[in-house]
Structure 1
Amino acid sequence: METMTLPTLPGNAAPRRLGRTSVSLTPVGLGGGPMGDMFAHLDEADVRATFDAAWDAQMRYFDTSPWYGRGMSELRFGANLRQRPRDEFVLSTKVGRVFDRPQDPVNFKGPFWAGGLKFQERFDYTYDGIMRSYDQSLMRTGINTFDLLLIHDLDVRHVGSADLVAQHFIDLERSGWRALETLRHYKEIKGIGAGVNDLGTIPEMLKRFDIDFFLVAMPYTLLDQGPLDHEFPLCQERGVGVVIGAPFASGILATGTSVPTPYYRYMPAEPPVIEKMKKIEAVCAAHKVPLKAAAFQFVLRHPIVASVISGAVTPEQARENVNLLGGEIPEAFWSDLKHQGLIDARAP
């Protein structure tokens, strides 16, 4: 949004331009996964309070997806954003799945989500699939513009097999990409992105498509900097921006190792990860740096990262995510992590 004026968050964290798009993002945004009833059915009053807290804390970037709660997240984002000034926030959603009435609507129970809506999802990266997904998202939110659209979950873990990934890439190349380019050309959207869960996706996407930015959901965190080898340099060469979507690595960078079962990459953390985390926690303790603040601020130190988004389901979580930028972290903290080999020496 060329004329959008976004607020400044704590720690003089000014809005940042997203790659080569015209869009600027507040450095902290609200991720929509948990708003799809990821772990439990959410009370609508609590959802409203969380959005109010995020807005009052000057958060102005909101990211959702049709997949989150099979439409529930988009419904909630629309209900809580569409009465707010449209030129004061950035909204992104995703394409790659469309939703239909299930064959057995009474007994339907989809996978993964604790709650959500009773609609059957299917992957579709064709021209018609992209356009149908886009139209469905407009109707679910009740907001008639999106700023950004992202290609969602085009990887083996979500699609199911390498053969299916290859077929969906063919669909995207043959027609689906044309749908996205058409929307961008006619300025219905201001940027095309792709969600990234695994190393290797960024080079494959950049080889095939004129991508504006990536939402990196796991590979770049305080625990793992694999994209510094190849992916991020490629993005820098092309002016491609990055949003970080899982700063806590699905749990362990928020909870530390003191909980009974710390989670990393959505699975119980294995002993080598726990051992490394304990060393990171020791450096945090030595410098009196909160682990969560280190996780947030680390990813934002990279120059191509425009924003970090994290799910929140309570007002306290929303406020905390913004306040994590407020504490000054001494350079000696980062130097100690590098000296001990706990973060990549090339990390900004």
Structure 2
Amino acid sequence: MTARIIEKRQIGKTGLEITTLGLGCASLAGIFTDVPADQARATISHALDVGINYVDTAPQYGYGRSEHLVGDVLRERRAGTVLSTKVGRKLKPVTGWSEPHNWVNPLPFDQVYDYSYDGVMRSYEDSLQRLGMNGVDILYVHDIGTATHGIEGNKPLWKQLETGGYRALRELRDSGAVKAIGLGVNEWQVLMDAFALGDWDVFLLAGRYTLLEQTSLSPFMTTCLERGASVVIGGPFNSGILVGGSTFNYAKAPQAIVDRVKALETVCQDFGVALPAAALQFPLTHPAVCNVLPGPKSPEELDGILKWWDAKIPDALWGELANQGLLAVGTPIPGGVA
């Protein structure tokens, strides 16, 4: 298979360049629905075959399953790829799980939150063993913030990051063990707190800068431009509502969201553009964004994403969305801002 040419963008002030389309590997670990291991590995291989060079995983995904699957493929194809994983959760072996989870057929481990110096270092080393590799390129702090832990629950965990975890990340980056550090979260507010801790290269933000929602536009995205940090956009379909599903933020979409999606779809139809194609390509109109990270479960799903990726979208579509108030004021679009 001939790899396509996919635009690359630089991560922050680092020397890393990643394709603007990446592969997120949460779904491949069996979130909500089972994905056979051979199918997962085939999807990762297919992504590399078509020219995608950025792959993201995490210890949480299938409680180690995703990292094992990613390692199975990338160990033999590491050259030219950019790999990220995450810290903040250590895994411990169990015979049962302490709380409900969304993973189908995960590995027999449970998670323990730990954002301390030792926790970050241990998580990093454990990930290398699961991957079967001697290094990763990007290390994200995973799911710190009130959305995951609550206001009171997050305070001691943030203190761990503030007093030790950030230092561990800086040491890993300064030593060259990793090339970039950041946070991977579903809420932009905690990223403003992170800027107060120090300098970061890239943030993986899921669901908060999409065709449906631009709540992170200011002050977060504007601060990224000022500080020279890049943004990877996860969850570009807002957990399914922008590809014909009924869920938003992993729950049944409220009527206001359903109505807004219908309005977006009407504009897209007027221009002969599929709504998922517009959703996939929209985040890249912002200069801070370096990558969009969908999570297909099969090579066939990835091929569908590639069709949306290749769709030609007229600049006038973005302008019409702005005219109808469907984009936040100040949103960068071709030729100007909304």
The corresponding residue for 1:80 is 73
Q: Secondary structure at the match of 1:344?
A: coil
1:252 maps to 2:245: no
* Cα distance in 2 between the residues matched to 1:108 and 1:235: 38
The corresponding residue for 2:316 is 332
Q: Secondary structure at the match of 1:130?
A: helix
* 1:8–1:14 contact (8 Å) kept in structure 2: no
Counterpart code for 1:99: L
- By relative contact order (CA 8 Å, sep 6+), the higher-ranking structure is 1
Cα displacement (A) at 1:107:
7.9
The corresponding residue for 2:166 is 177
1:278-311 deviations in whole A, cap 9, x for unaligned? 1111101110011111001110111110001111
Runs of 4+ with >6 A deviation: 106-109
Assess, with a 3 A threshold, how the Cα gap between structure 1 residues 282 and 142 changes in structure 2: closer, same or farther.
same
Match of 2:88 among 96, 99, 105: 96
* Cα distance in 2 between the residues matched to 1:108 and 1:168: 19
After TM superposition, list the pairs within 5 Å mapping 1:39-78 onto structure 2.
39-78=32-71
1:1-44 deviations in whole A, cap 9, x for unaligned? xxxxxx763xxx41100111211110111101112211222212
Q: Decide which moves more: 318-327 or 73-82.
A: 318-327
The corresponding residue for 2:335 is none
Cα displacement (A) at 1:49:
2.0
After TM superposition, list the pairs within 5 Å mapping 1:158-307 onto structure 2.
158-159=148-149, 161-255=150-244, 262-307=246-291
Match of 1:312 among 287, 293, 296: 296
Q: Decide which moves more: 114-123 or 145-154.
A: 114-123
Cα displacement (A) at 1:100:
1.2
* 1:221–1:247 contact (8 Å) kept in structure 2: yes
Counterpart code for 2:71: G
* Cα distance in 1 between the residues matched to 2:290 and 2:146: 27
Cα displacement (A) at 1:169:
1.2
* 1:125–1:168 contact (8 Å) kept in structure 2: yes
Cα displacement (A) at 1:180:
0.7
1:196-221 deviations in whole A, cap 9, x for unaligned? 31231121110113211110111110
Q: Secondary structure at the match of 1:229?
A: helix
The corresponding residue for 2:103 is 113
Structure 2 segments unaligned to the other structure (5+ residues): 333-338
* Cα distance in 1 between the residues matched to 2:45 and 2:163: 42
After TM superposition, the score normalised by the length of structure 2 is: 0.94
Assess, with a 3 A threshold, how the Cα gap between structure 1 residues 51 and 182 changes in structure 2: closer, same or farther.
same
Q: Secondary structure at the match of 1:146?
A: coil
Counterpart code for 1:235: C
* Cα distance in 2 between the residues matched to 1:237 and 1:45: 43
What is the root-mean-square deviation in Å for CA atoms of aligned residues? 1.6
Match of 1:140 among 119, 130, 134: 130
The corresponding residue for 1:4 is none
Counterpart code for 1:329: I
* Cα distance in 2 between the residues matched to 1:249 and 1:166: 27
* Cα distance in 2 between the residues matched to 1:281 and 1:89: 35
* Cα distance in 2 between the residues matched to 1:338 and 1:114: 41
After TM superposition, the score normalised by the length of structure 1 is: 0.91
